[in-house]
Chains A and B, each alone.
Chain A
Amino acid sequence: ESQSESSSESSSEAVQAVSEVVSEVVPETAAESHPAIIGVSPEDQDLYKPATGLNGQKIWRCLSDPSIVLSYDQINDDYCDCPDGSDEPGTNACPYNPERKFYCRNEGHIPGHIENYKLNDGVCDYDICCDGSDEYITGKCENKCPQIHQQFEEYKKSVNKDIEKSLQIKQQLIEEAQAKRKSSEDTLNELKETLAKKKAELERLKKEFEENKDVLEGEVAESVFDELSPHIEELSSSVRSYEKKLETQESKILHLEKILNGLVQHYNPNFNDAAVKDSVSKFQEYISNKEVEVGEELSETHKVLEVLAKKSKSISCTPYDRPDVIEPQTIKSLLQQRFTFYAQLILANFLQKPADARESSALFEEKKPAKSATEYNEEIESLEKEIKSIESEISIYEEDLAKDYGAKDILRAVASKRVNGKIGEYSYSLGFTDSISQDGVLIGSFVEFKDNKLIYKHGAKCWNGPSRSADVELICGPQNKLLTVSEPEKCEYLFELITPIVCENFTEEEILANFKIDYNRL
């Protein structure tokens, strides 16, 4: 339906320019039959051999779609003909395809493959093409391969030296870590053995108690509740009175907070009064970190008192003395002190009883049953407690042993180490499997070790933001040292830590990838 006719001076200046440079920069390869195609590595040159068309002209087919036939001079003519971009290995005419990068020979250094959009844009991308061949049309970039290769060799040498030293330290750390693991495993096994013993003992006691049930049922436990109850009531009422005082204080605090909230909402943020701004931000911080759980704690105290009252019913009575009460400094600590006192008193005076009883009963072995029902109950309860505690210890060890501390458990070796450092105006302290803090403010607690990164979370809360957290990127080096810290997001920190624990032998490619040219020395 349409025709076109070009009346322009059809010329192939661009193509000529290309082929001129080709003969300069890339000499002909082993495949003698055709000149080397610019941008194509020697091993791929074969893909660019011309074929002969029906009329004897040189043709070529797109690599991924051989049904598309081009005349041979359409290769690198700065116009994209093949959907896969294969006809333009030496220009940026086709959309960038990571599979098809431009080949730089980089004689004297390591060959490079550069993205086509970097070709002939006037930029010397020496990090990939030290020979400057990416700028073969602009001609802006002279060959710097000798200098760059020398820099690379120096770099490689120093990297390898560092690595060697670091790997030695790392080996020691691995051994330490293995030893620590071994010792944990040993402790775990011991605990498991003890647990089995205690469980057997419990079984035995329960059985014995069951067997003597009939005799023991006749016994009536002498209740001490009547004796103890006035004291407990006294305790309760003093708890309640402090509770009231606490409420009064709370309401005062609430009132103050209301006033300050008003300030935060209505102050003019444009009037830069440093004192106001500082107070506002501190108050916001305070609100974020405030925990409103006093009420719950008090109800917990009541619960404990109730349990105490119940328990005391089954315990025989011994007189006790009231302690001298020291005036406490805060309501909370007073409550705690009082509570601890009474609790200890009860424990000391009553809970020891069964042990005494057991001793005395040993003297009269022939008497059956050897223990009273109370004693049986106490002993079983105490054993059960012990078992529980061993079990929880076991689970801690198991959990710890199951944790991912990196290959060969390497973090185990540094678990208790702290790295301290001052960066900028702040001091930081980092415990590998513990926590990070900035001038005493918790940035986060260790959560996991992943992709050469230590992850810390759940730090002190920020106003208008999340809880503080940090990622620590580990960089291989012989000594533990905090290198940098940044805060890419508010209250989300990013550290770089030099440490031997992540050191590995680098391949040459990896060294090359990390190598940075010192442009000042070119």
Chain B
Amino acid sequence: VKDYLFKNCENSGFCHRNKHYADQISSLGSEYKSDYSIDANSVEVISGPDKFFIQGQIVKVLPNLPEEKVVLPLKISVLEGNNIRIQVDEAKREAINIANKFINHQRYNETSNWAFVNQELQYVKTEDADLKKSDTKFSITYGKSKEYVAELEFYPIKLTVYHLGEAQVVVNDRGFLNVEHWRPKDANADHLSPQESDFNMFQDDFKDSKEDSLPLGPESIGLDFTFKNFRNLYGIPEHADTLNLKDTTESNNPYRLFNVDIFEYETDSRLPMYGSIPLLLAVKPALSVGLFWINSADTFINVDKSNSTKDSKTHWVSENGVIDFIILIGSTPAEINKNYGAITGYTQLPPLFSLGYHQCRWNYNDEKDVLDINSLMDQHQIPYDTIWLDIEYTDSKKYFTWQEDKFPDPEGMLKELDLTGRNLVVIIDPHIKTGYDVSNQLEKKKICMNDPSNSSYHGHCWPGESVWIDTLNPSSQSFWDSKFSWDKKNKFTGGESTNLHLWNDMNEPSVFNGPETSSPKDNLHYGGWEHRSVHNIYGLSFHEATFNSLVKRLDGHTRERPFVLTRSYFAGSQRTAAMWTGDNMSKWEYLKISIPMILTSNVVGMPFSGADVGGFFGNPSKELLTRWYQTGIWYPFFRAHAHIDSRRREPWVPGEPYTSVIREALNLRYSLLPVFYTAFYESSTNGSPIMKPIFYESLNNLESYSIEDQFFIGSSGLMVKPVTDENANDITIYIPDTEIYYDFTNGDLSKVGWYNVRKPGYIRKDVTLHDIPVLIKGGHIIARKERYRRSTKLMANDPYTIVVALDKYGHAEGNIYIDDGESFGYSTSGESINVHIKYSKDGLTAHVNGSNKEYINSLGNIGIEKIIIISPFKLIIENPKLKINSDWSIQIILDIEHDEL
């Protein structure tokens, strides 16, 4: 990575200033008297049938201008799900007299419009919260049993959230609150407090950023949050870093959230990457807290765990926008996931095919190449669902065109793929080459991202000179829709094909000649907003537009659910897209880091995530490639991809024994699709992780909080420890609790190995190249489909095998979610079933939940061919002649006494 191309805190104007400010305040200690206070008289409660909030004013005094006061309107709301939201704006920016009349000079406050699933947030009812106000503070008691209290002190300003009387989060604990209010450039000196630096307030000295005109001068916001008795923090992706967040004070290298096309990124780094989700989770055994910082500008987060207390102290600074954050609080991280999802939306239930194997490469060269790969998969009996086309399919990188001599008949190609249920994903990026009809129309309709003079911005990307569609502009959607229209003559979409899906890349946006390889920050978007305000949501706005267009395109056809992959993302992206971790390398360390990266994505509500299997840059050794497949089958989004300069590496390329080992891994993924699909269904209703950190299931065991090379799959009880070391002969697996874990290595149950430890710790296991170490935790029931088919669609009628893993007390239960995997019938007309299977001393019982009789009956030819009950002994019920769509129960009398184990 060329890290000198990217800003760090020292050479980023606003970060540098806020750090200076924080350092000054810290060194003054108790001598420091804050410039900020809350005007007690201004505080009032606003309540109505569907609103309930507290409003007031923060007043900032200017030491050099005693007669002037900066008024900062404050709003506090208590939302359903124990979420408390705080918003701070700046009054009086209307009066600003600035040269550029195109700029909207308000503080940007629309990030939540993009991040939230529903703008109508559910407020707690007035009667469900107790309010108390005095001259010095204000407090709100909330929660089901009134277990939470938020107390706001007026001077110095401090907000403390208590759980059962114990402080959990303290906002502005260290007094780093900073709102750089508007001031004229020539009067700047008068507006500075003694603790402030004026570093790069009106110009930017950093390399390619020098041209930034900073028309509104300094606008940054900063605030500190102390998490009391929390040492384990998670989230705030995207970074190629550990699952458990690091202390960043020593390295002076804070986590940065700024979506960039980072070239050849390095592992163990706090550098920004392609996407960002400003959600931080703090977890301890009895309580979890989430901090959702709703800001889409360039942001740095300093994490301080070095202090002698048991607290974690964080300092958040953003380049501009309003202060807007939500503190979520609950007893478990899963509860935070659920409540965060209620605000930003849950991940879409993906089309089933997209949980199969994706075969990608930059590039499959032509139709023949695509169809050859398609049939080679069958010749080698490699199950797969989707083949991908990178940028070279286009005519000179002009999106929505095909390179005619190589792809003369896209519709025919799509049809041939469709014969065996296969799909095609093609790439479309937001940069549109200048000088052809698509960019001409964009410019004509004035829906491009503009330069500061409000004419369409021209920069460089893959096609050379390009314009960027401004998907923040509502008019862009209908234009975008027209490109994906359902029309026989729409050559781009293969006419009326339903197996074409989309890949949105380079949407950070990546601008090759721009500062930090992105858009100039003083570019303008719809509404006159500067790019600096909306930078981190641009990617989301783009992939969301694509998703919306595809939904419209497929509306009313057999396949209604689109699939979109995005590289750039923000909070809320989970509603419409899957993400991958971008351009990794064919090295072991990138295989290893993929796991904590994907786990982090799962922790912050973006579970449909994966890393390029095999590594994008370079040529993996056969062993690395094999191990990567064995790991990749557990990624929620499972795609192999390779750079144009790398050698071909489709599963049959490495030869034996590797090809067979890879095939076995793929077969394992396909056999467990019912588990993955069920996990996705659950996640789509409660935000739960698909690839789940170990600590989620062992909150009382602090040792498990940093395990990041091992994980669970949804709520299935499958616990995986992929082999990610070269020449590994053995592996250690962490058993986080005293439940029974059965050996499920390679999905093989022929040997019943099991572990039941007296206290949590590591067990050792020999491994060969063939082995994918998996355990299944006692107490779970999962369903598999064990027969090889060419694609997921072709598995629809195959029978299930039920695996029952008994816990220490002889109990187990689990769910199987089933629908058609492609339509919205599950949500519009209840076309789905949820089979609940339970094992107890009375036997094994299945109950089918579903509301649509017709749909339930349509599943009548799907059987259950085998039931495997594992306890320290194993019992197989062969060919029970049961159907998946009906209730049944089987009496089983086991001679062993479970509580004796």
| Chain B CB within 8 A of A262 CB | no
Whether the pair B892, A79 counts as a contact (CB closer than 8 A) is: no
Identity of the chain B residue whose Cβ is nearest the Cβ of A123 in the assembled complex = B420
Q: Pick the interface stretch among A169-177, A195-203, A292-300, A480-488.
A: A480-488
For A93, what are the chain B residues with a Cβ–Cβ distance below 8 Å?
787, 865
Whether the pair B645, A78 counts as a contact (CB closer than 8 A) is: no
Within 8 A of B (CB), among A262-278: 268-274
Whether the pair A123, B419 counts as a contact (CB closer than 8 A) is: yes
Smallest beta-carbon distance A274→chain B, Å: 7
Q: Pick the interface stretch among B654-662, B752-760, B877-885.
A: B877-885
| Chain B CB within 8 A of A328 CB | no
A232 to B879, CA, bound (A): 99
Whether the pair B797, A138 counts as a contact (CB closer than 8 A) is: yes
| Chain A CB within 8 A of B873 CB | yes
| Chain A CB within 8 A of B510 CB | yes
| Chain B CB within 8 A of A96 CB | yes
Q: Pick the interface stretch among A9-17, A45-53, A387-395, A446-454.
A: A9-17
For B365, what are the chain A residues with a Cβ–Cβ distance below 8 Å?
486-488
Whether the pair B794, A2 counts as a contact (CB closer than 8 A) is: no
- Size bin of chain A's contact surface: 35 or more
Within 8 A of A (CB), among B766-811: 787-790, 793-799
Within 8 A of B (CB), among A4-39: 4-8, 10-12, 14
Q: Which of A77, A92, A121 is packed against the most chain B CB atoms within 10 Å?
A: A121
A270 to B460, CA, bound (A): 10
Within 8 A of A (CB), among B852-888: 861, 863, 865, 873, 875, 877-882, 888
- Assuming the A-B contacts A93-B787, A486-B365, are A3 and B462 also in contact, with contact meaning beta carbons closer than 8 angstroms in the complex? no
Smallest beta-carbon distance A475→chain B, Å: 14
| Chain A CB within 8 A of B146 CB | no
Whether the pair B879, A5 counts as a contact (CB closer than 8 A) is: no
Which residue of A2, A78, A424 is within 8 Å of B893 (Cβ)?
A: A2
Identity of the chain B residue whose Cβ is nearest the Cβ of A12 in the assembled complex = B881
Whether the pair A122, B793 counts as a contact (CB closer than 8 A) is: yes
| Chain B CB within 8 A of A137 CB | yes
Within 8 A of A (CB), among B102-153: none
Indicate with 1 or 0, residue by residue over A92-106, a CB within 8 angstroms of chain B CB atoms. 110110000000000
Smallest beta-carbon distance A268→chain B, Å: 6
Whether the pair B513, A486 counts as a contact (CB closer than 8 A) is: no
Whether the pair A92, B798 counts as a contact (CB closer than 8 A) is: yes
A95 to B663, CA, bound (A): 14
Whether the pair B863, A272 counts as a contact (CB closer than 8 A) is: no
Smallest beta-carbon distance A496→chain B, Å: 10
Identity of the chain A residue whose Cβ is nearest the Cβ of B877 in the assembled complex = A4
- Assuming the A-B contacts A6-B890, A123-B420, are A1 and B873 also in contact, with contact meaning beta carbons closer than 8 angstroms in the complex? yes
Which residue of B261, B795, B894 is within 8 Å of A270 (Cβ)?
A: B261
| Chain A CB within 8 A of B154 CB | no
Whether the pair A121, B462 counts as a contact (CB closer than 8 A) is: no
Indicate with 1 or 0, residue by residue over A452-474, a CB within 8 angstroms of chain B CB atoms. 00000000000011000000000
| Interface size counted on chain B using CB atoms at 8 A | 58
| Chain A CB within 8 A of B33 CB | no
Whether the pair B647, A117 counts as a contact (CB closer than 8 A) is: no
| Chain A CB within 8 A of B5 CB | yes
| Chain B CB within 8 A of A510 CB | no
For B644, what are the chain A residues with a Cβ–Cβ distance below 8 Å?
490
- Assuming the A-B contacts A92-B787, A269-B263, A489-B647, are A122 and B875 also in contact, with contact meaning beta carbons closer than 8 angstroms in the complex? no
Smallest beta-carbon distance B497→chain A, Å: 15
Whether the pair A272, B880 counts as a contact (CB closer than 8 A) is: no
Indicate with 1 or 0, residue by residue over A121-133, a CB within 8 angstroms of chain B CB atoms. 1111000000000
| Chain B CB within 8 A of A120 CB | yes
For B210, what are the chain A residues with a Cβ–Cβ distance below 8 Å?
none
| Chain A CB within 8 A of B517 CB | yes
Which residue of A11, A272, A490 is within 8 Å of B881 (Cβ)?
A: A11
| Chain A CB within 8 A of B850 CB | no
Whether the pair A121, B790 counts as a contact (CB closer than 8 A) is: yes
For A271, what are the chain B residues with a Cβ–Cβ distance below 8 Å?
460, 512-513, 517
Indicate with 1 or 0, residue by residue over A242-264, a CB within 8 angstroms of chain B CB atoms. 00000000000000000000000
Smallest beta-carbon distance A17→chain B, Å: 8
A138 to B797, CA, bound (A): 9
Whether the pair A270, B263 counts as a contact (CB closer than 8 A) is: yes
A118 to B421, CA, bound (A): 12
Which residue of A2, A79, A489 is within 8 Å of B873 (Cβ)?
A: A2
| Chain A CB within 8 A of B895 CB | yes
A14 to B881, CA, bound (A): 9
- Assuming the A-B contacts A273-B513, A274-B464, are A121 and B794 also in contact, with contact meaning beta carbons closer than 8 angstroms in the complex? yes
For A465, what are the chain B residues with a Cβ–Cβ distance below 8 Å?
645
Smallest beta-carbon distance A473→chain B, Å: 13
A272 to B616, CA, bound (A): 20
Indicate with 1 or 0, residue by residue over A511-522, a CB within 8 angstroms of chain B CB atoms. 000000001000
Smallest beta-carbon distance A368→chain B, Å: 76
Smallest beta-carbon distance B58→chain A, Å: 42
For A11, what are the chain B residues with a Cβ–Cβ distance below 8 Å?
881
A117 to B878, CA, bound (A): 21
Identity of the chain B residue whose Cβ is nearest the Cβ of A118 in the assembled complex = B790
| Chain A CB within 8 A of B368 CB | yes
A194 to B797, CA, bound (A): 81
A117 to B797, CA, bound (A): 12
Which residue of A2, A117, A464 is within 8 Å of B790 (Cβ)?
A: A117
Identity of the chain A residue whose Cβ is nearest the Cβ of B786 in the assembled complex = A95
For B861, what are the chain A residues with a Cβ–Cβ distance below 8 Å?
14, 137
A407 to B863, CA, bound (A): 57
For A5, what are the chain B residues with a Cβ–Cβ distance below 8 Å?
890-892
For A486, what are the chain B residues with a Cβ–Cβ distance below 8 Å?
365-366, 368-369
A96 to B788, CA, bound (A): 8
Smallest beta-carbon distance B266→chain A, Å: 15
Smallest beta-carbon distance A487→chain B, Å: 7
Whether the pair B875, A2 counts as a contact (CB closer than 8 A) is: yes
Smallest beta-carbon distance A358→chain B, Å: 65
A484 to B882, CA, bound (A): 54
| Chain A CB within 8 A of B197 CB | no
For A138, what are the chain B residues with a Cβ–Cβ distance below 8 Å?
797
Whether the pair A4, B875 counts as a contact (CB closer than 8 A) is: yes
Which residue of B366, B878, B895 is within 8 Å of A1 (Cβ)?
A: B895
| Chain A CB within 8 A of B203 CB | no
| Chain A CB within 8 A of B67 CB | no
For B462, what are the chain A residues with a Cβ–Cβ distance below 8 Å?
272
Which residue of B420, B865, B891 is within 8 Å of A79 (Cβ)?
A: B865
- Assuming the A-B contacts A272-B460, A272-B462, are A78 and B799 also in contact, with contact meaning beta carbons closer than 8 angstroms in the complex? yes
Which residue of A96, A122, A137, A269 is within 8 Å of B794 (Cβ)?
A: A122
| Chain A CB within 8 A of B461 CB | yes
Smallest beta-carbon distance A312→chain B, Å: 56
Within 8 A of A (CB), among B402-421: 405-406, 415, 419-421
Identity of the chain A residue whose Cβ is nearest the Cβ of B891 in the assembled complex = A5
Smallest beta-carbon distance A352→chain B, Å: 60
Interface residues of B (CB under 8 A from A): 2, 5, 261, 263, 365-366, 368-369, 381, 405-406, 415, 419-421, 460-462, 464, 510, 512-513, 517, 644-645, 647-648, 787-790, 793-799, 861, 863, 865, 873, 875, 877-882, 888-896
Offer 26 A-B interface pairs, CB within 8 angstroms, sorted by A.
A1-B895, A4-B875, A5-B892, A8-B888, A11-B881, A12-B881, A14-B863, A14-B881, A92-B798, A96-B788, A121-B789, A121-B797, A122-B796, A137-B797, A268-B5, A268-B263, A270-B5, A270-B261, A270-B263, A270-B510, A272-B462, A424-B406, A464-B645, A484-B368, A486-B368, A488-B365
Shortest 9 CB-CB distances between A and B: which pairs?
Answer: A272-B512, A121-B794, A79-B879, A270-B517, A272-B460, A271-B512, A8-B888, A270-B263, A117-B788
A5-B890, A270-B512, A490-B647 given. 10 additional CB < 8 A pairs?
Answer: A2-B893, A10-B881, A121-B797, A122-B793, A122-B796, A137-B797, A270-B510, A270-B517, A464-B645, A486-B368
Interface residues of A (CB under 8 A from B): 1-8, 10-12, 14, 77-79, 92-93, 95-96, 117-118, 120-124, 137-138, 268-274, 424, 464-465, 484, 486-490, 519
